A and B are shown apart, each in its own frame.
Chain A
Amino acid sequence: MIAKGFSVNQLAGFLAQTDGPPEAPTFQQGSYFFPVQASTFAADSDWLYYFIFWVCAVFFAGIVGAMVYLVIKYRRRPGVDPEPSSSHNTPLEIAWSVLPSLLLILMFKWGAEGYFDQQVPFDDAEVIRVKAKQYDWLFEYENGDFSGELHLTQFKNYEFRLESADVLHSFFVPAFRQKQDIVPGRYTKTWLKPIKTGVFRLYCAEYCGDNHSNMKTNVIVHLTDKERLAATAWDWAGKKVDVKGRIENGQRLFSIKCAGCHSMSGKRMTGPNLNGRWGIDEQFDDGQVIKVDENYVRESILEPQKNIVATFGPPNQNMPSFKGELNDDQIDWIIEYIKSMGAKATDATPK
């Protein structure tokens, strides 16, 4: 079941090191046309795809064959007048209008049935709240855990309640053959049942702005609930007692809430890289200089539009305010984490 080269331990290590959108782990190979079939919908949907594909292939081959044959057979030859032939043949024309329609009815029927399956979740489904914002995903589970990657357990039903904080997004996991737009101002819903363990790509499928193509994350399907719970569990309160724990808390929060736009690897993303910025004097578009300290980081989180680092100002000011979304403790952890990354670019491990 589990793909070669993939283990949950590796995955845990991989998660711990993550900042920013993770580099692609080894994804399982699917067929030539499709990614691996990892949900209950996939096989049905693919089967229908291939059915249509072969119907089309037969028709297209017929068209090409007829065309080539006719063009050669009836090519213009000097001195040869075309034979007279009828200008229309109503029964024939009606036949080739109506007969293919029967195939269309089949396609419609199967397509609609598959769609019904996709619309009606089981009652026992766990509801996962998916919060999309430019350019980040946040998944909240029924037990209160949350994560930046989607963790599921194989063979369990999940219902997703999708909401967007800003513009249109779309929840799309190719391996699950499921896609649902996320519309700000209302909830949309979808459900699925994963049938394969492994790591799969989750994309934003509706254009949402500058960094649309980076608004992707991974879906990790675990073999057991235990693994799934272990992957998302985090002892926030237990860790906050010492500095090291607070930094770890901060790092985890950062990877979930901030890493969509801020890297710790030195790479310029939508927002500035935050590795090695602690304590330095930051230049601003209006010429003033502010030292990056606790107060500035706090202000940037709560009132991001107030002082924007040079070259990140208008018209690029994308950062939303996290007022109400992060509490004082959480802001403190993030400050601790950024602080731990020091004043000059280092590798992405906390000191």
Chain B
Amino acid sequence: MTTIANRQELFGHTPDKNYYTASKGFLSWALTLDHKRIGIMYLIGVSAAFFLAGIFALVLRTELLTGTGVFLSEKQYNQMFTLHGAIMVFAFIIPSIPAALGNFVLPMMLGAKDVAFPRLNLCSFYLWVFGTLFLLIAMLTSGLDTGWTFYAPYSIRTSTAVTYATMGAFILGFSSIFTGLNFLVTVNTMRPPGMGWFQLPLFIWALYATAIIQILATPVLGITLLLLIAERTLHIAIFDPALGGDPVLFQHFFWFYSHPAVYIMILPGMGVISELISVHSRKEIFGYKFIAFSSVAIAFLGFLVWGHHMFTSGQSVVMNMVFSAITFTVAVPSAVKVFNWLGTLYKGSIALTTPMCYALAFILLFGVGGLTGLFLSTISVDRHLHDTYFIVAHFHFVMVGGTLTALLGGLFHWWPKITGRMYNETLGRLSAFLVFSGFNLTFLPQFVMGSRGMMRRYARYDPEFKVFHQWSTFGAFVLGFGVLLAYAVLLYAMKRGKPVAGNPWGAASLEWQSSSPPSFHNFDHKVVMNEPYDFSTQVYDAELDSYVHRRFLEPSKPTTQPQHS
């Protein structure tokens, strides 16, 4: 029997039963094994890292206003861009979507109570904390001026705190490995009966592909950084040319991890976008299998292209050719995703909600990022563009235009689930617009100055580049304001937003069958299995102001029987 009363219970627990009111006190968070709380802690952590590194970015952009220096010395500038890069990459982008959003959402998408190894999950969070602390120690002692790539032999010679920073990156690497391992096992062994590989939401496919990369690539970074530490402290001469070592070997090792790491950064973003596009146009994702397999293909090909970072390093002609050729193949699965997202829009019912705005922004920005990658995989053109602002703009389009917009879009999408409250749509859309336009203003001029010969990592530059830099700086502040606005909208909603029931978007994946916010064990009732993009199963119920699975509204079915009674 479906009555209004137990209909409320479908999504409505008493307020003190959800995951963040279930227990109180610092230790109940610090020692929690709940994937949702760990996800929230990650979210706070990575956001803090993001804001710190974001401030560095604005300082950098301000410094670059004139070309002759505004308030930093060259040395300070070098430290600033290094810390910006290192903190953004290791402490923010890599853990952002998998560890924050993924932790919260992945087990619930599987209808599970938790990830396979909750203790390991907490452990990877603390590894993240310690790794980030090491980066901060490096920052507060003698700084770090090697660039986030730690290229030998400069990283062996410099007197800055490279050892602390590499230690931090090493620990963060293990945090990342454990998250990946956890997710991979969870998806393999904890899928509910009836959920085959092709009933997984595409976000899970993306996280799964990401986890594979995390497990296979990160250990190589680990050993590389360990060797670098040994090189600095014991002078083992593996990378140091002065003692007979090979500095190019370091580059090979480093990019063997760091190129796949680019896909650690972007694949989860693509997964989020697949969800957003489909849900907010209420249309089954177009070409599910192509998108799913393209994630795996990208993960696989990502391992074979690291040498394209080294076209000018003096590696052999044959290697350059091979790496260039394989690099072009990565373009194919990436393009497939974009086309399939557009295909999803076709004949949909598209609502320009905030998450959808971010998703559309993602498609455009990732489109530019991906297409400019073609210039760089073409060897002869790359010989000119390598290490110029063209590269800077390219990877920012992929990592910021990609990952950051996906993270924000994902946050807006799942925020009603995470907090149980809805945000202000108008301001949300405004933030998406500001992020999008600010971003383009920042980085489009950088393509031009790059091809004109503006080198990256230059504290001072020739006057001909000034006007581009000034546009870029202006854009950076717009972007910064947009991001602040997005966070403000979300935080305000958490306090004052309108409460929402379980499924405001009418999404069909399982996490929306829980109450908002979810209870401690995620689901208060039996989860009803259905295809993740079959929106016809979701019907709007005015009583609840929420979508509900059709099955719950059929009176004869006992599935809605609350189990507490």
Contacts and interface: CB of A to CB of B under 8 A. Distances in A.
Given A177-B383, A178-B384, A188-B314, A111 B378 contact: yes
B459 A213 contact: yes
Given A24-B462, A210-B74, A168 B154 contact: yes
Interface stretch (A63-71, A136-144, A278-286): A63-71
A21 to B, nearest CB: 10
A178 B335 CA distance: 30
A63 B375 contact: no
A183 B247 contact: yes
Contacts of A64: 364
A239 to B, nearest CB: 34
B457 interface: yes
A74 B380 CA distance: 43
Given A108-B328, A211-B74, A74 B348 contact: yes
B159 A314 contact: yes
A107 interface: yes
A60 B368 contact: yes
A213 to B, nearest CB: 4
B549 interface: no
Contacts of A35: 452-453
A56 interface: yes
Given A93-B290, A174-B384, A213 B452 contact: no
B442 interface: no
Interface stretch (A78-86, A221-229, A246-254, A341-349): A78-86
Interface in A83-133: 83-85, 87-89, 92-93, 96-97, 100-101, 104-105, 107-108, 110-119
A52 B378 contact: yes
B44 interface: no
B164 to A, nearest CB: 14
Given A67-B342, A67-B363, A70-B342, A184 B349 contact: no
A45 B188 CA distance: 48
Contact of A212 (B78, B286, B464): B78
Interface string A19-51: 000001001001011110000010011001100
A96 B314 contact: no
B289 interface: yes
B339 interface: yes
A104 B241 CA distance: 38
A116 B317 contact: yes
Nearest to A85: B347
A27 B386 CA distance: 22
A192 to B, nearest CB: 11
Interface string B322-350: 00110011011001101110110111111
Contacts of A60: 367-368, 371
Contacts, number: 265
- In this complex, which of A96, A111, A170 has the most chain B Cβ atoms within 10 angstroms of its Cβ? A111
Interface string B272-307: 000000000111111111100000000000000000
Contacts of B345: 67, 70-71, 74
Given A67-B345, A108-B325, A179-B384, A87 B284 contact: yes
A117 B151 CA distance: 29
A32 B142 CA distance: 41
Contacts of B459: 212-213
Report, as a range, how many residues of chain A touch the other chain.
Answer: 35 or more
B312 interface: yes
B349 A74 contact: yes
Report, as a range, how many residues of chain B touch the other chain.
Answer: 35 or more
B448 A315 contact: no
A145 interface: no
A344 B254 CA distance: 50
A167 B153 contact: yes
A48 B383 contact: no
A201 B453 contact: yes
Nearest to A64: B364
B289 A44 contact: no
B335 A41 contact: no
B511 interface: no
Contact of B331 (A104, A112, A119, A212): A104
Contacts of B153: 166-168, 184
Nearest to A31: B452
Contacts of B350: 70-71, 74-76
A186 B314 contact: yes
Given A80-B349, A207-B154, A33 B314 contact: no
Contacts of B154: 167-168, 207-209
B488 interface: no
A340 B363 CA distance: 64
Contacts of A32: 448
A207 to B, nearest CB: 4
A188 to B, nearest CB: 4
A27 B465 CA distance: 13
B160 interface: yes
Nearest to B353: A76
A185 interface: yes
A49 B451 contact: yes
A234 interface: no
A110 B259 CA distance: 24
Interface string A312-350: 001110000000000000000000000000000000000
Ranked nearest first, the 6 interchain pairs of A and B with the lowest CB-CB distance are: A174-B453, A114-B380, A185-B241, A111-B378, A315-B159, A213-B458
23 contacts: A24-B463, A30-B452, A33-B452, A44-B380, A45-B383, A52-B378, A52-B381, A70-B342, A70-B348, A85-B346, A85-B347, A101-B332, A110-B380, A111-B377, A112-B380, A115-B317, A115-B380, A117-B380, A172-B455, A174-B384, A204-B455, A209-B158, A213-B458
Given A167-B153, A209-B154, 20 more contacts: A70-B345, A71-B345, A74-B348, A76-B349, A83-B347, A100-B331, A101-B331, A112-B321, A166-B153, A179-B384, A183-B247, A184-B241, A186-B314, A203-B455, A207-B147, A209-B78, A210-B75, A212-B459, A213-B455, A213-B459
Interface of B: 74-75, 78, 142, 145-147, 151, 153-154, 157-160, 241-242, 244-248, 281-290, 312-314, 317, 320-321, 324-325, 328-329, 331-332, 335-336, 338-340, 342-343, 345-352, 360, 363-364, 367-368, 371-372, 374-375, 377-384, 386-388, 448, 451-453, 455-464, 533
